[in-house]
Amino acid sequence: MKNFLEDIEINGHLQIVKHYNDGKKEVVFDDHNIIVSGMGVGLAYLFSLTGPNNILNYQIDKFQVGVGGVGVTESSSLQALGAQLSSLEEYGENSQMYIVSAYHAYSPTNLRTNSLEAFGFIPQHKVSRVGDSSVRYTLVLDKDTANNLDDTRGSGTEINEIGLFMKNPFGSHNDNRDISVLVAYRKFQGIIKKDDFGLVFKWTINW
């Protein structure tokens, strides 16, 4: 799948900015991201007409953050975050994020429909065209999101990874829930999330 991704020349860039409550902004990460094998698999299903007919199933419309970052540095077979936030409790009951439940596709034959996972939903107004061949996704962990990880993960738990997911390239489960696949990933230096700042992820995908 690596050769397929190289042939279509998809790459990306991620910037992470702390937005403090007093108006101060601080860039804490600015580097390329990793396009993983799920992108190639999802696009292959689209181009070969073997997946769902509705083009919306191939949109990138979900993301997850996690605390178990892995250090991949190139296109890989990575299929999941190291340790994603898995519940509304971890994102925070006062969070302004739109949290949705979906299944997770590790591969076309391993759809993991035995348990639902929590994802951040990416609304269309957070997706913008920034060039002839670039799309930017603006993902926000507001000041009330993911601040209580000590209660569920242990003292000093740091957010240190994020992933983008394609909506539903293999078709929905029989309960009409999406089965989403990881398409882009990045580990970053750990951040202990606090309520005096929000985190804004500006993620650009180029092709």
Q: What is the DSSP letter of 25?
A: E
Name residue, tokens 């509304």.
88
Give the bridge partners for 66, in sequence order. 84, 161
pLDDT, position 192: 95
pLDDT digits (tens, 9 = 90+) for 100-128: 999 999 999 999 999 999 999 999 999 99
Three-class secondary structure of residue 124 per DSSP:
helix
Q: Quick one: which of 33, 34, 58 has its CA closest to 180?
A: 58
pLDDT digits (tens, 9 = 90+) for 22-71: 999 999 999 999 999 999 999 999 999 898 999 999 999 999 999 999 87
pTM: 0.93
pLDDT digits (tens, 9 = 90+) for 155-184: 889 999 999 999 999 998 889 999 999 999
Q: Quick one: which of 98, 128, 103, 129 has its CA closest to 117?
A: 103
Q: Mean pLDDT for the chain? A: 92
Say if residue 2's pLDDT is above 60.
no
pLDDT, position 28: 98
pLDDT-derived band of residue 1, with 50, 70 and 90 as boundaries? Answer: very low
